[in-house]
Structure formats: structure tokens, C-alpha cells
Amino acid sequence: MEMPDAALLDAAIGRARKALLGQQKADGHFVFELEADVSIPCEYILFNQFIGRALPSGLAEKIGVYLRAQQSAEHDGWALVQDGTYNISSSVKAYCALKMIGDTPDMPHMQRARAAILAHGGAAATNVFTRSLLALFSLVPWHGVPVMPVEIMLLPDWFPFHIAKISYWGRTVLVPMMVVHALKPKAAPGCTLSIDELFLVPPQDVRHWPGSPGKSFPWTTIFAGIDKVLQVTEPYFPRKSRQKAIDAAVAFVTKRLNGEDGLGAIYPAMAYSALMYLSIGMPIDDPRIQMILKAIDKLVVIHDDYAYVQPCVSPVWDTALASHAIMEADGAEESTFDSVKAALAWLKPLQVTDVAGDWAWQRPGVRPGGWAFQYGNAYYPDVDDTSVVVMAMDRAFDRWPSIDADSFGASIARAREWIIGLQSKNGGFGAFDADNDREYLNAIPFSDHGALLDPPTSDVTARCISMLAQLGDRLENSEVLRRATDYLFAEQERDGSWYGRWGMNYIYGTWSVLCAMNVVGIAHDTPAIRKAVAWLESIQNEDGGWGEDAESYALDYSGYQKAPSTASQTAWAVLGLMAVGERDNPAVTRGIAYLTSTQGEDGFWQEKRFTATGFPRVFYLRYHGYSKFFPLWAMARFRNLHKGNHPSVLMGM
């Protein structure tokens, strides 16, 4: 295939670069909207109604516009992703939220939604997290929700279930939720909701509530039996030990409240922390509750004609990735230096060096040194963000030595030490914790989403390898790299791809791993790499782009699921191919042609499809920044490899 016209490519890169620079905030950072399915805005509506808090004028109406627009014309319900399959839990939440803000059951869209809900088993068929919300409103009985006794807070750390053994997102949500479930608070006066029309049989008559779709022998049976016992005995637990457990849970949350960034800096944890405080009798005007409400309100995105609520914000991730893209697209302009220096100067003080977070339960001897995903989340930094920030700092310092005036070198060294300290026993890296891989815990009835853990994954491990190798570590002198690389070879799928935990899915994982394999020095003709290249070539769409559907996360592994091309997934594919020497591969040329031909007049790309992952099969994400910096990065790298003095990729990403 012919090379793209050099002038057209330069113009496309220039437009994208200018547009991206135009999004930088005055203090140097970048942050783009982070959108999930309708669950979070629905929960926001219901939460505020439950606590008796009025929303600003017009906000509920704008959220209603958003919710109605997301209803599928194909199946009349709500999906987890753009153009996705029907999801009963999201659909029930959307119906409840719309009814709460005034939509009546006889409205056409509500009639269609109700019919679809009933056709899929009714509101009783929702997942545990949704049924927990319904139980708060007395819409399902509490015995319809698996028991998570707050006495868990008193268990010793050697016990099979302990909050240290579950993921950061699991513990920050479950700890306050257990208090709420123990105390069962009532909604504020005047907050009433009835959804009797969504049940096939009255909820009090339901005998079998749905469990996890993923069965694990023998743990599913064991935990189901334990839950049956707890359903009967939990109301009779001693009051003294219950109060002691509640006090322990409240202390846990209070220690980690995290100011106006909120507990765990994620919406569900924030909402349940507020409900926890209200449950124990705090007035709503207590400073702690008011601080939580401010944190929650910061997640609201308001446009001219609609509004929604983000699950969290992503400024550190966006700033680091945007910095890489801008450096890749550098045309020797002074604005590149100024932009990157400002971005890194903003990132530097956000490094957590003074708080040993929850990760220290597993690694008590390691000094803190990571970055979190959000503006502030000191107890929960992650190695993925940290690796990308470090690679950006190192890359900038390599280009402009004077940029180290603010001692980025010390930040890099501290981060490297922290990441090495969080390597798991199997050689891989999880996102937030080491060895958070006790799979039996995903079989507890309350974990029907199957995402209670943070085990090592290929994409995160690859990023850590990329960082260490970019900093100069080599296989011949680094046991950490050897173990991590061996882990990646063992994780390759039979078709040649790698699983992507935090991006969708095998395209993302394969891109991540190929970048790591290149920078760590694995020969490009190694069979594993050739197999991965062949796989990427084989799944390219007819239009030259790449796309992958969320259905590729199905429980029974069947690999990649084809989807329409997206700018971000196309960028990952060509970046992965170029990393392992495929600069002149016709597939890469076609991918670059797809990107140049689909660029908008504003310099960016339209990308409505979700291409990132919160929890596989349960919760997906649409990073609005991905279509702004990844395509620019890919096009610029293609140009640089053809024009530069070195035909291979030297950076970790």
C-alpha cells in the first residue's frame, strides 16, 4: 500500500496537536470527561432523593434528558456500552430514576422500558448492587440481598475473608455499605417510590434471587450455604460486637475520607460513606457529610442540554498520556517544551510519598512513591498511572535535561522503588495491590459481579516492564524484569493476543505487551511476537481501522469480538505493531490512513463507543480523552519512524 501523503499527514498531526494543546488547563494539567453507563447518574438521582437533598434547579431535568437519550431503540432498555446488549440492572435503575424525577409509567418510553424489564425477568433479576439500592427504598426485602455482616471488620487478617484481601474499590465500597446494611436507614420524609409494575411476582414472594453467573466449585456452594445461615442468624448477632464492628468501619472510612476528592475518589464509595454517617445519626449538615456531598457534586458534568455524573475523574492519567502524545508530535516548537514542562510540574507534587496506603498491608516494608488516578487519592495510588508518569518524566528529561530543575530525577527513583516493591509473587503486577488474587473471594454471593479482586494482569505488568526498561533495567541484570516478562509469555492467549483488563480488550492488552517486549529487548522475530503481529493483522477491519466489542469479556473465553473501528483502538493496534518493527507493514499504513481520513475539522475524532473497562462484564468506561491523544500519538510515531534516524521505537510506550 502506498504511503500516506506526507503533507496531509503533517497537516493532520498539526491539527490534532494544536487541538490537544488547546485543552490544557492554565495550571498545566489535562482532564477529559469520563463516562460510564447510566448507572451512576441514576444512583445520583436516587441518592439525593433518599437523603432529602434538593438538586440545583434544572439539573434533574438535564439528567433526565441524558437518560432518555441512552435508551436503546433496539431493545428498549439500557446497555453497559454504546450499542450494547440489554442490561437488566441498568434498565431498572434508569426506570427508577426517571420515575423519581417525574416520568410517569404511561409515557411511551416508560411503557417500552417496563415491557423490556418484565421480558428479562423483572426487577428481581437485577444484580446484588442494584438490589441493595432497591432494598434501601423498601422495594425488595432485605433477604433478597446476600448478607455482608459488618462484623467482618473484626476478623483477623489470617481469616479467609478480610478487607485487606479484596480490591481497593471493593473495600472502599463494602466497608461503609456494611454499616448501612446493618442499620438499614429509612429514606427522608416525602421520598417515596413504587415499582410494583416491574415485578413478575411480588418481591416478598420471590424465593430464589439470582446469584453470580460465574460458578466456582466448591466455593460457590460453600458461600451460598454460609449466606443461608447468615440470613437466619445475622439479626441475633450480639449488640456489643456489632457496635464494635460499626465503630471500626466508621474509623476506617473517616481515616480515608480524602477531603473533597472523596473516599477512594470513586462515586459508589462516596455515596455509601455519606449514607453510613447518616445511618449512625450524624446530621446532614455535619462537615464530613457536607464535604462528601461536595466531592460527589464535582463528578457532575453539565452541558447546555443534558447532564450526567462521572464515576470518577482521570486528571493524572489524562495529563501523563497527553504529555506523551505531545512529545511524540513535537515539531521542534517551543510550545511543546512549555506544555510538557507545565504538565510535569503539575504532576510532580501529586506523587504520594508521605502516606503508606492500603497497599502497605501486603508490602509493609516498601516506601510510598506512586501517583493516583485522580486529583487526590493518597491511600490508593496505582502502578499503571505511576509507570506512565515516570516514562513521561524520563522522556522529557532525556530531551530537555534542564527540565530536571525541579528534581524529577528524585521522583522517578522513588516511584521505581515503589513499583518494584509491589510486584506479585507470580511476577506480574496488579493495579493497586500486590498478590490480591484470592480467586475464591469472587464466589461470595455479594460478589456476583466477579470483580472483587485486583490480581496481576498483562496490561498493567507490561506498563511496569516498559517503565523499568526505559529507565535502563535489563533482563540480564534484573530479576524483577525476568519474572515479569516470564509472566507475560505465560499469559499470551492461544490466538496470539493478550488480555486487557483496563482497556477494551485484547487490542489494548496486546498493544501494551508489544511495547514492553520491544523496550525490554525481546527479539521481534520471537514466535510469541510474530503470533501477536499475525493476530493484529487478522482482525483489522475492512476500513483499515480496528475495533473490539465489550462482549470479548464473556465468561467463557472466545477471544476478540469484532466491532466497528474506533480511533483509540486503531491507534493502539498500529502503536503495538510499530513497537515490534512493523513500521512498513501494510496494515499499519492502512491504519494510519483510517486515522487521517476520519479526523474531524476540530482536529479530534468522534468516538461514541466505549473502549475502556472498569469491571469486565459489569462496568465499562468511555474516556473522552482517548480519541484526542492516542490517534495523534500513533500518527506522529508513524511519521517519526519514517523520517527519523532510528527505524525502531526507543521509548517504553
pTM: 0.95
CA-based Rg of the chain, rounded to a whole angstrom? 25
pLDDT-derived band of residue 476, with 50, 70 and 90 as boundaries?
very high
Average pLDDT over residues 628-640: 97
More confident residue, 528 or 618: 528
Q: Answer whether the bond into residue 218 is a cis peptide, omega within 30°.
A: yes
How far is 340 from 349, CA to CA, in rounded Å?
A: 15
pLDDT higher than 90, residue 209: no
Three-state helix/strand/coil letters over 11-24: HHHHHHHHHHHCCC
Mean pLDDT of 230-239: 74
pLDDT of 219 higher than 60: no
361 exposed, middle or buried (CB, 10 Å; 0-12, 13-18, 19+)?
A: middle
| pLDDT of 279 higher than 90 | yes
Give the three-class secondary structure for 425: coil
Residue 15's pLDDT is what? 96
- Alpha helix locations (H) across 79-218? 88-100, 108-119, 128-136, 168-183
Grouping H, G, I as helix, E, B as strand and the rest as coil, residue 477 is: coil
> How much is the pLDDT for 455?
95
Contact 506, 513 (CB under 8 A): no
Judge whether 296 and 262 are in contact, CB under 8 Å: yes
Say if residues 511 and 573 touch (Cβ distance below 8 Å). Answer: yes
The lowest-confidence range among 181-190, 224-233, 278-287, 418-427 is 224-233
Question: In this structure, what C-alpha cell is assigned to residue 78?
Answer: 439500557
E strand segments, 466-585: 546-548, 562-566
- Alpha carbon of 69 to those of 55, 64, 84, 109, 384: distances in Å? 21, 8, 14, 10, 34
pLDDT at res. 268? 96
Cα–Cα dist 17/210, whole Å: 49
Mean pLDDT throughout 274-281?
97
Distance from C-alpha of 88 to C-alpha of 77, rounded to nearest angstrom: 8
The pLDDT of residue 441:
78
Residue of 218 and 606 predicted with greater confidence:
606
| Residues 309, 282: Cα–Cα separation, whole Å | 26
The cell numbers describing 400, all together, are: 530537555
pLDDT averaged over the chain?
Answer: 93
Mark out the alpha helices in 450-579 (DSSP H runs).
458-470, 479-491, 506-519, 527-538, 567-579
What pLDDT is recorded for position 110? 98
Query: pLDDT tens, 555-583?
Result: 777 789 999 999 999 999 999 999 999 99
DSSP assignment letter at 614: E
Q: Is 559 helix (H, G, I), strand (E, B) or coil?
A: coil
Quote the pLDDT of residue 600: 97
Q: What is the mean pLDDT of residues 595-621?
A: 95
Among candidate residues 547, 516, 548, the one with its CA nearest the CA of residue 529? 516
Q: Select from 508, 510, 546 the least CA-distant residue to 529.
A: 510
pLDDT in tens, 292-342: 999 999 999 999 999 999 999 999 999 999 999 999 998 656 678 889 999
Q: How far apart are CA 347 and CA 408, in angstroms?
A: 10
Question: Is it the case that residue 226 has pLDDT exceeding 70?
Answer: no
Catalytic residue annotation: 384
What is the pLDDT confidence band of residue 157, given thresholds at 50, 70 and 90? Answer: confident
Backbone angles phi, psi at 86, to 5 degrees: -60, 140
pLDDT of 273 over the 70 cut: yes
Q: What is the per-residue pLDDT across 161-175, written as a single tens digit (0 to 9) for each? A: 889 999 999 999 999
Q: Pseudo-torsion of CA 507, 513, 516, 522, nearest 10°?
A: -120
Q: What is the mean pLDDT of residues 372-378?
A: 97
CB 87 within 8 A of CB 79: yes
Asked if 89 and 103 touch (Cβ cutoff 8 Å), the reply is no
Question: Residue 591 in contact with residue 545, Cβ under 8 Å?
Answer: yes
pLDDT tens across 50-88, in order?
999 999 999 999 999 999 999 999 999 999 999 999 999
